[in-house]
Structure 1
Amino acid sequence: MTSHRRMQLYGALLLLPAAVLLATFAYLPTITTVINSLFLPGFRGAPAEFVGLENYQLLFDDPTFWKVARNNLIYAIGTIPTSIALALGMALFVNGKLRGRGFVRMAYFTPTILPMIAAANIWMFFYAPQIGLFNKLLGALGFSGVNWLGDPSMALGSVIVMSVWKEAGFFMIFYLAALQGIAPELKEASDLEGTSRWSFFWRVTFPLLMPTTLFVLINALINAVRVVDHLFILTKGGPNNATNLLLYYVYENAFSFFDRTTAATITVVILLVLAVVATVKFTILDRRTHYQ
């Protein structure tokens, strides 16, 4: 065996454990889910019946699915740009000359390290109708309390606020690392030219942050879809499906209603939508991405 062949074999063996894990826990479940979405389960030992795209037709005729999809779209619009803008603003703030900068960074990042269940329970106390922190503050200001999680018009917005609080600190770390990787000579040159801070940010800093922004956007999109645990604690999808989101709807169908066919069909739709949106993001933003 030549040295080139030995290096190829050595590289393949190094990749083999990761490839096995990826195939076992990503590719195989995806293929199985797609297959399950094309069949109706058999009852009392009968074999499953192939129905093609009939399950998708039934799903698209379900008004609850469209309500859940609309909720998820609103949730994504509310969380993705807000959390990214806050993350960028916090990163710019703590990257400058600031007294107690390490403490401020830790304070911004603390919500990220909290388990989602713990964070949801904290916000459950904030949102409690009678004894909650927010209603106590409103009462002190002379306003009546709000049923934050029980009012259909307020519940989804309340979940969005908690999610932004939880995610912004995580995205801030990536922006902070990217800011510290920008050459200081660029700022020195702009100061010599008399460039304003605003112009330097839009013409130099922000374009150099586009690779990080692209990465954060994809992660924010995934986070906007994989919402289960804090819904389970805060609202369980209520009231009247006002906070029910796609992945929680999958959980309900699979483990509460035991309708795994519908759950598989919704999962395939989610994967297709994520793939299309991610492709569009990479196609559009790649033209505006500048690598150092």
Structure 2
Amino acid sequence: MKRKINKKRITRSSFGAGMLYLLPSILLFGIFLFYPMFKTLYLSLFWTDTQGNPVQYVGLENFMYLFESPSFMTSIKATLLFVLYTVPVGIVLALILALLANENVKGIGFFRTMFSSTIGMSVAASSVIWMLMYNPAIGIFNKILSAIHLPELQWLLDPDYALISVAISTIWMNTGFSFLILLGGLQNIDERLYENARIAGVGTWYKLRNITLPMLSPTLFFVVTVSIIGAFQSFGQIDILTGGGPMESTNVIVYAIYKDAFINYDVGLASAQAVLLFFCILFVTILQFKIGERRVHYQ
């Protein structure tokens, strides 16, 4: 009986000590994550004044309005296209660069630094650089088109090219991060696997398909998940390069939330969009874990 009482005391003492260690993190998460999340969910059920204060409870009317709004449907389309443009191309490019930088040749450190250099640049600075390159009068892209006798383009002013132009700049910005993570994954692969493959006399493509990619699959899974979430949340480059235009062709959901909250002062509608975006990202992430993780090979 005494042993049971002592065990209970030890368990309570351990639980109390554990909660004490976790308290700073719980407070930070509560203030900066859980409170804003529940506040957003609460405001999505109300009409609000220009200060963001709830005025009238409307239930799901904000959500019903969004699904009937052509502007919101355009935002969904732009967001999905943006994710489709940036994630696959960005990951494939980063993987190719990582495979090249993983070779043990003289001077490879310089190229590793160059390939990862975009990670050290802010979104604002990178966007300004790309804005200059896209400039119709002085931009380098139109200079190249003119040099090869092709018609010049309004990269950021034409609805047919604006989203692709922003996607290209986003791929460039995100390549450094994906490259570093994938290069780290490649360098953690057991070298004995490649030695056995060389002894067996198999080719480069066989090693890539049957050794490199399976061993790299946990890292690839992480990079894909983080890249998709990041693409859904992209804002800075769109705000600087296009401001959601032209004709709302780059008005992704995050930028639409910003406009409704801080330009139109409709915090209730912006909160409803934020809730929908949260559940969309949550659904995509769960889907990735349900489907994608089955193909992940853990050592």
TM-score (norm. length: structure 2): 0.93
* Aligned-partner Cα distance in 1 for 2:192–2:201: 14
Aligned to 1:190: 197
Higher deviation after alignment, 176-185 or 208-217: 208-217
Is there any run of 5+ residues in structure 1 with no aligned partner, and where? none
Q: Deviations over 1:43-85 (max 9, x none)?
A: 99x9632221111100100000000110111100010111111
| Pairwise CA distance, 1:122 | 0.2
Q: Report the equivalent of 1:145.
A: 152
2:90 corresponding residue in structure 1: 83
Q: Residue 258 of structure 2 corresponds to which residue in structure 1?
A: 251
Q: Residues 258, 78 of structure 1: CA spacing in aligned structure 2 closer, same or farther, 3 A cutoff?
A: same
Matched residue SS, 1:40 = strand
2:135 aligned with 1:128? yes
Q: For the Cα contact (< 8 Å) 2:50–2:265, is it kept in 1?
A: no
SS in 2 for 1:287: helix
Residue 224 (structure 1) aligned to one of 212, 223, 231: 231
For 2:146 and 2:111, locate their aligned partners in 1 and report how far apart those are by CA, in whole Å: 30
Query: d(CA) in 2 for partners of 1:48 and 1:214?
Result: 44
- The match for 2:222 is 215
The 1:43–1:271 alpha-carbon spacing in structure 2 relative to 1, beyond 3 Å, is closer
d(CA) in 2 for partners of 1:43 and 1:23?
Answer: 26
| Residue equivalent to 1:32 | 39
Post-superposition offset of 1:34: 0.8
Name the CA distance, whole Å, in 1 between partners of 2:157 and 2:39: 38
Work out the CA distance in 1 between the residues paired with 2:218 and 2:168.
Answer: 26
Deviation per CA, 1:170-218, whole angstroms, max 9, x where unpaired? 1011111111111101111111122222112111211111111111112
Does the aligned pair in 2 maintain the 1:91–1:175 contact within 8 Å? yes
* 2:98/2:180 contact within 8 Å kept: yes
For the 8 Å contact 1:155–1:243, the answer to whether it is kept is: yes
Deviation at 1:7, TM superposition (A): 3.9
Name 1:12's counterpart in structure 2: 19
Number of corresponding residues: 292
Q: How far apart are residue 283 of structure 1 and its match?
A: 0.7
Whether contact under 8 Å (2:75, 2:253) holds in the other structure is yes
CA RMSD, 1 decimal: 1.9
Tell me if 1:264 matches 2:281.
no
Helix, strand or coil: the match of 2:66? helix
Q: Check if 1:285 corresponds to 2:292.
A: yes
Q: Structure 1 residue 93 and structure 2 residue 116: aligned?
A: no
Matches within 5 A, 1:51-66: 51-66=58-73
- The yes-or-no answer on 1:115 pairing with 2:131 is no
Report which structure shows greater RCO (CA 8 Å, sep ≥6).
2
Deviations 1:92-113 (A, max 9, x none): 1000123321111111111121
Give the AA of the match of 1:230. Answer: Q
Q: Which amino acid aligns with 1:203?
A: N
Q: Displacement of 1:231 after TM fit? A: 1.3
- CA offsets 1:30-49 (integer angstroms, 9 cap, x no match): 111111111122699x9632
Local SS of the residue matching 1:149: coil
Q: Secondary structure at the match of 2:160?
A: helix
Greater mean deviation of Cα atoms: 46-55 or 217-226: 46-55
Q: Which amino acid aligns with 2:128?
A: N
TM-score by structure 1 length?
A: 0.95
- Contact 1:42–1:49 at 8 Å: present in 2 too? no
SS class of match (2:116): helix
1:276 paired residue number: 283
| Runs of 5+ consecutive residues of structure 2 not aligned to the other structure | 1-5
